[in-house]
Structure 1
Amino acid sequence: MSFLFGSLAWWIAGALVVSIPIIIHLLHRQRTQPVLWGAMMFLKQSVLQQKRRKKVDHWLLMLLRLAGLALLVALLAQPLWEDNEYNPLAGKASTDIGIVIDHSLSTRRLSGDRTVYDQAVATIARLTEASALQSSDTVSVVLAEKAPRVLTPLPVPRDNFAGTLDKLRKEKPGLTAASIPDAVQKAREIIGKGRNTRKTIIVLSDGQKSNWRANDLGAWNAALGQRVKGADSSIKMYELPITPVGERANLSIGEVTISPDLVGQNQPSTITATVTNTGSAEMPGVSARLIVAGTEGGRQPVSALKPGESRTLRFDHTFTDPNSQWVEVRIDAPDGLDADNAATASAYVWQTLPVLVIDGQLSSAGIDSNANEATLDKFKRSQFLGAAMLSAAPTADSPSLIKPTFVSVADGKLSGVPLDDYAMVIVNDVPQLPTSIQSKLRDYASSGHGVWFILGRNSERGLIRDQLAASNLLQLDVSDRQEAVEESAGIEVISPDHPTLRPFTKPERNVLVGMTTLKWWSVKPRNPDVKVLLATKNGDPLMFEREIDANGGRIVVWTSPVDGTTGWNNWPSMRAFSPLVNTTVYHLASGWTKGQANRRLESGQPLVWTGPTSPAIGKAEITLPDNTKEQVRPIVRDGRQIIRFKETHQPGRYELRFDQTALAPVYYGVGIDPVELQEETLSEADRKWLASEDHKFLEATITPTELASAVGGGSQGTQLWPILAGLVLGVLLFETFMTYRVMRQQTVAGMGTTASATVA
């Protein structure tokens, strides 16, 4: 005999409940005081006879109440009488069955000519065979994914299970990781709604260790309830492994990268990806394809790969269309797992990158955005700077990605320039800044933009020491003199991994070695968050940076000019000057382009889009790789619209569309969860822990042929609650009759006592 609620605490509580009638009887028993009347001897004998009958009825009534409560406690404990030779009702028990099917990405692996998932569904179909289920059995199905997906919110009767099987067959293979304990917990909740006493959970899985979370006691206690050693569990769980058969090769595409970080329209870019054979057999030569926005953009062969070998694929491509573009690298390989044969990334393709140059030349030449030779002649201090930015073009005839606009610091039109129209601002060798521009630059940097200060012969100490501090951009101590040396100062690279210096400071090819620096502004930053990039040997910073806030706003300062002035430096004549200028521009523009950068996310990494507050977005729609759609709404913070979406567990392409048609759609690529590519399965030690008598989470590991007996097709006991319910009902009826009888006797006795008193 076993009970669903069979703990010691339950029976102690039941004993207390059963004792209630005894306590009430003892507290309210009648204490009859005989009344001696001299001439009423015969009446006295009659009253005593009635008292004896009442005492018998009272004891019988109390026993009925005790029996009723005891039967009710046993009924709620839901007893099960095991099948044996002493059980005349053997073979009548019914079961609520919870089916957990592993629907993770790893179950897409082929086993023969079918996937592991398809084999699991075919195995469950055995329950539709004759005598596999009893007529009153129920079945519930949960798919184990990143978050469990319930296929049957309520237990399904046996006769309706065929419809559930049809749903399972129509399901596409999974794309995410999975948590078996979470799915078991959900199955336990559903079968708890069933009417049968016997509960069983069957888990069909490829046994991937990461999904099972073996040895995680907290997860399994939450899944099946905390178990007591030696106590019979109310829910039994069985594992039915479905593992791939045979050795197969499997090619997997790793992370896809697009360079440069800031991609320009009609400018060359490079897409790279790594292909690895993660299988156990050699893969013959195959072909790899580059797909750009749905169109093939290149193809190359991939020679044979032995297990564990990898190769890097490189595609050169020029994006001809602007805005967000997605790319996919795919290999045509008939291997063991199709989901990792492709990887997706995206890039934002810029038509132009607008830059405002505030030049230190005192003139009223106006605002010039032509960026031609005549423009550079007008702003001579920015000639080399402008020429470097205009060199960011693939050919001499094609337009540059960077589009500079020049204006003199003394021009009255400067105060009316909308700074937010520019990706970043360069303040080049100006004596002082107008007061109105100081506050504008602070707000501009705080909203996520970049400002580049280049100090030179025209810069004044008031700008460096006072104006930068007053605008809360930088606090600098300035030496009384500008350092000047006869020989070039030794240069020390302080931050070789900084984005602006990384391409130029590789040990095997440090192109900054030839920098000649004779004169510079000797300053000492007082802000603790300043990062020095390049310095002289005596510690004077030549290039340094300060981040303004989390929006990507930052300040970069060069303490030596770029106008080619004799006696300061040779920087403009260096071959690395133009690339160095352009990487600095790209870096400072990264705050403005934030939310538009190359988008390659890890599984589960939030998808984030940011943009200006105009046009205002009411809502947006995200299309997931499985073509399901989710509605999202932006929030506005720090002058930016922000959209954030966390459910990025499916690998592949995500598309973000806005209700403002003026905004082009934005694409994101999400990689496969790395744990799903791990082929390590449950070990014997893992299964031993799950089946340990200390908690007994796993009853047994079974084969498909043992499925029917595990779910109760062989009947392992008889539910006694219907019989107990009938007995409780019978006791209640008898107790009602006896209560009526006792009350009637008390009424008659009361009348007799009244009559006696009257006679007296």
Structure 2
Amino acid sequence: MPLFLWSLLAGAAASIPVALHLLHRRKPKPVPFSSLRFLHEAIAKTRRSRHLTNVFTLLMRVLIMVLLVFAFKQDKVRFSWIPEGKRTVVIVLDASASMRYQDGEDTCFARASEWALNLIRSLDEEDQVAVLMPGLPEPRLIFPPISDHETVNRAIQQAQPGYGAADLVELLNDMIGRLSEEDGTAALEFHVFSDFQKAGWNDAEAEGLNEQLTDQEILLFLNHVQPTVTANAGLSKAFFYPPAILGDGDFQAKAHVRSSADYSGGNTLRLIVQSNEQKKKPFRLLPDQTVTEIIGGVAEGEAQYVLGQLELDDDAFPVDNVFRFCLPRLPGIPVLLVDGSGRNNAGFRDTPFLKHAIQPKGKARTLFLPRTVDWTTFKAGPLDDSRVLFLCNPPAWDEAALEKLKTFVRDGGTVVLMPGQREELEASIEQLPPLKGLQVRKEVLPQEKPMAIVPSERPAELERKLLGIMPPPSALVIRRRLIFTSVPASASMVFQYHDGGAFILSVPFGQGTFWITSVGANRDWSEWPLTPFFVIIQQELIKSSASRNMIALSAEVGGMLALDWAEDATELDFRLRTPSGDEKTLSLSRPSRTKPVVVRGFDEPGFCHIQRNGKERVIAVNLPETESGLTYASPDELGLPLRTARLYQADSWHEHQQNLVNLHHGRPLWPFLLCCAFVLAISEEFFANIRSRTSGLPDTLRQFLRRGGRAA
């Protein structure tokens, strides 16, 4: 409670006896009695005595109330001549991955551990110690506090840093709430040994920490163990395209490399696939810079998972020089071609060019697995085995067909709508929820006309990919086309005509996408099916659609992974084998059998193996992105949100000792105040009784009795 509130409370409590005294003050009533002169003198004298007694008893009662108020405030008295009270020392030893930085002969963690051991040696035997190590899977190394200092020493000497991130402010807030209620008489102090990365110190949460420290008079010592020189280049994150290996096994890695403030010079990015170095790429870095480097690779063989890693040159922080990846290999992408020409057994008219683009020269490929059906077969059969659906020249669809398309796309599928001779697609499109309001008009040219296809103003991911392979045709012969107007805001164009109309429209819906082409898949509409551009678009569209829903099997230390697991169960037990070879059981649950399982328990970087019922998944676990930053908060930045707290900062054990020497915890004052209040309460009663006794007879009455008078 703030000091001014305690002062107001003390003043209010002290006024209670005065108010009671004034309210119960009685005016003496005159009593008829004999007019003896000595009685009048006795009354006058006793009146003065009573006034003096009342004043002193009132002061004593007021003082008792004030003592009680300050006793409940639980202040501590601090003087150099008063011996120290019992202390509760909480050592917060940062064990995050950044503390593994090699600063000279020792790591930052080794320096912090030795510093913490020096602090323990300086404590008295009765002082209690707790040790917390944020960055480990279980940060409470020793908790609750104990007074066995030898046990604490052994625990710190055997401790090793982890690979996770540390949120120091969150930990301090939590521990203050746990410890402040255990022993109100012990002085509570926190000693934090850390490099104080900015990512692990939240200023907004530190404001709340400041209030707790101030209100409870807790001491906070921030001890800096930052490296003298921070020269590091690390892999903060990497992306892989595609996130799953398709067919020929080609893929690209986009790596983000971050340099520290003291790093400058050349480095080399190496790509390791299945333990073999495939490529390396030199580059240069400036201080405090983040660059993006792209390197390509090939995943040969037929292994279910392609394991590899990106590597940088060695430096003082080796754990962020490696980024591991695990890419699943897709055996093939099932594609369903629906031909709406209605020719039944007479052959298909609207899909031959499409099938040829997917399987050039009719050769079977493991990458794309196309299957052609008519409209009736499409309506009757399931779509569970297909990832991409091409709907060419469809008839008007009924409610069942509409619901089938919506469900397929909502669950992550891709539907490509291509117009044809039926001319019923234009009227049916608006029935799809994401395409409501779209106006479609068919334009038939008087004679075929070459038109230029150009990039759109804001190219989407697929368009950028296509532009990197080949440019669009500058003179594509068009005979008829669809013109789109009132395009929904969620739609995006993939290329456009030189006059501004969309060549292809893409509209997301649920987890999937609807695509609409402005020309059909046969030569009645254009010469597009005869161009290499047609082949490239179909293949890349299928690849992007299939890989969009593929989640790379990677996670961060201390993070979690949403793992798709096909099994008719919601309660699942997995065996997790860690990179170091340890095994543990994970009991997990999910809301329904179609939902992914959220997996936690990744405590170290490397490749983890998750097994259940003979099936196995491999997970690549990497360092948290925040740990490769190595940007540290200065003492001023740490002290600003803690401006009203009792804060001490040090850069060495010697400076820390000086802070402790000049510090006097003092002892609790409330037991002494309660004793004083009790003594005053007893003394007030004795004082009132003694003052009320008659000390002797008045002089006039004594002389009267000496002369022989008699009192009746």
Cα distance change on mapping 1:360 and 1:210 into 2, 3 Å: closer
Is 1:511 aligned to 2:467, yes or no? no
Amino acid at match of 1:705: H
- Residue deviations 1:141-166 (CA, integer Å, cap 9, x gap): 44455999555554x25x32433344
Is 1:521 aligned to 2:490, yes or no? no
Cα distance change on mapping 1:283 and 1:500 into 2, 3 Å: closer
Is 1:192 aligned to 2:180, yes or no? yes
Amino acid at match of 2:98: S
1:421 equivalent in structure 2: 385
1:408 equivalent in structure 2: 374
Cα distance change on mapping 1:112 and 1:539 into 2, 3 Å: closer
Using the alignment, how far apart are the partners of 1:220 and 1:286 within structure 2?
40
- The correspondence for 1:436, drawn from 400, 422, 431, is 400
Cα distance change on mapping 1:666 and 1:633 into 2, 3 Å: farther
Q: How much has 1:438 moved relative to structure 2?
A: 3.1
Using the alignment, how far apart are the partners of 1:139 and 1:223 within structure 2?
21
1:757 equivalent in structure 2: none
- The correspondence for 1:257, drawn from 205, 227, 239, is 239
1:127 equivalent in structure 2: 119
1:562 equivalent in structure 2: 521
CA contact (8 A) 2:191 2:220 kept: yes
- The correspondence for 1:390, drawn from 359, 366, 383, is 359
Deviates further, 120-129 or 68-77? 68-77
Cα distance change on mapping 1:585 and 1:291 into 2, 3 Å: closer
Cα distance change on mapping 1:273 and 1:533 into 2, 3 Å: closer
1:459 equivalent in structure 2: 422
**Superposed, which structure 2 residues align to 1:170-189 within 5 Å?**
170-186=158-174, 188-189=176-177
Using the alignment, how far apart are the partners of 1:384 and 1:480 within structure 2?
22
1:225 equivalent in structure 2: 211
- The correspondence for 2:629, drawn from 648, 662, 678, is 678
Amino acid at match of 1:634: R
- The correspondence for 2:444, drawn from 439, 464, 482, is 482
CA contact (8 A) 2:268 2:282 kept: yes
- Residue deviations 1:145-196 (CA, integer Å, cap 9, x gap): 5999555554x25x32433344444443243444444444445445534444
Using the alignment, how far apart are the partners of 1:464 and 1:611 within structure 2?
40
Deviates further, 383-392 or 647-656? 647-656
**Superposed, which structure 2 residues align to 1:564-579 within 5 Å?**
565=523, 568-579=525-536
2:619 equivalent in structure 1: 667
Using the alignment, how far apart are the partners of 1:425 and 1:503 within structure 2?
21
- The correspondence for 2:225, drawn from 242, 245, 251, is 242
Using the alignment, how far apart are the partners of 1:556 and 1:165 within structure 2?
66
Using the alignment, how far apart are the partners of 2:633 and 2:535 within structure 1?
57
Using the alignment, how far apart are the partners of 1:363 and 1:744 within structure 2?
129
1:75 equivalent in structure 2: 71
Q: How much has 1:503 moved relative to structure 2?
A: 2.5
Is 1:533 aligned to 2:525, yes or no? no
Amino acid at match of 1:452: V
- Residue deviations 1:584-627 (CA, integer Å, cap 9, x gap): 2234445xx62x33356789997445678x63433576969898
CA contact (8 A) 1:143 1:151 kept: yes
Alignment partner of 1:318: what SS? Answer: coil
Cα distance change on mapping 1:704 and 1:259 into 2, 3 Å: same
1:328 equivalent in structure 2: 309
**Superposed, which structure 2 residues align to 1:157-172 within 5 Å?**
157=146, 159-172=147-160
**Superposed, which structure 2 residues align to 1:611-630 within 5 Å?**
615-619=568-572
Cα distance change on mapping 1:392 and 1:717 into 2, 3 Å: farther
2:659 equivalent in structure 1: 710
Using the alignment, how far apart are the partners of 1:432 and 1:338 within structure 2?
62
Q: Identity over aligned residues, as a percent? A: 17
CA contact (8 A) 2:554 2:619 kept: no
2:537 equivalent in structure 1: 580
Amino acid at match of 2:422: S
Alignment partner of 1:175: what SS? Answer: coil
CA contact (8 A) 1:392 1:401 kept: no
Amino acid at match of 2:105: D
CA contact (8 A) 1:453 1:556 kept: yes
CA contact (8 A) 1:495 1:501 kept: no
CA contact (8 A) 2:451 2:474 kept: no
TM-score by length of 2: 0.79
Alignment partner of 2:404: what SS? Answer: helix
1:368 equivalent in structure 2: none
Q: How much has 1:407 moved relative to structure 2?
A: 0.8
Using the alignment, how far apart are the partners of 1:124 and 1:41 within structure 2?
85
1:749 equivalent in structure 2: none
Cα distance change on mapping 1:653 and 1:629 into 2, 3 Å: farther
Q: How much has 1:300 moved relative to structure 2?
A: 6.3
Cα distance change on mapping 1:10 and 1:113 into 2, 3 Å: same
Cα distance change on mapping 1:487 and 1:716 into 2, 3 Å: closer
Amino acid at match of 2:369: K
CA contact (8 A) 1:252 1:341 kept: yes
Using the alignment, how far apart are the partners of 1:737 and 1:77 within structure 2?
29
- The correspondence for 1:202, drawn from 191, 197, 201, is 191
Alignment partner of 1:723: what SS? Answer: helix
CA RMSD in angstroms, aligned pairs only: 4.9
Q: How much has 1:290 moved relative to structure 2?
A: 2.8
Using the alignment, how far apart are the partners of 2:475 and 2:366 within structure 1?
26
CA contact (8 A) 1:424 1:589 kept: yes
- Count, aligned residues: 685
**Superposed, which structure 2 residues align to 1:82-101 within 5 Å?**
82-84=78-80, 89-101=81-93
Q: How much has 1:427 moved relative to structure 2?
A: 0.8
- The correspondence for 1:598, drawn from 536, 541, 552, is 552
CA contact (8 A) 1:651 1:672 kept: no
Amino acid at match of 1:102: D
Using the alignment, how far apart are the partners of 2:478 and 2:124 within structure 1?
94
Alignment partner of 2:476: what SS? Answer: coil
1:11 equivalent in structure 2: 7
Alignment partner of 2:415: what SS? Answer: strand
Cα distance change on mapping 1:739 and 1:516 into 2, 3 Å: farther
2:461 equivalent in structure 1: 499
Q: How much has 1:11 moved relative to structure 2?
A: 2.2
Cα distance change on mapping 1:713 and 1:353 into 2, 3 Å: same
CA contact (8 A) 1:355 1:423 kept: yes
Q: How much has 1:45 moved relative to structure 2?
A: 12
Cα distance change on mapping 1:713 and 1:57 into 2, 3 Å: same
1:723 equivalent in structure 2: 672
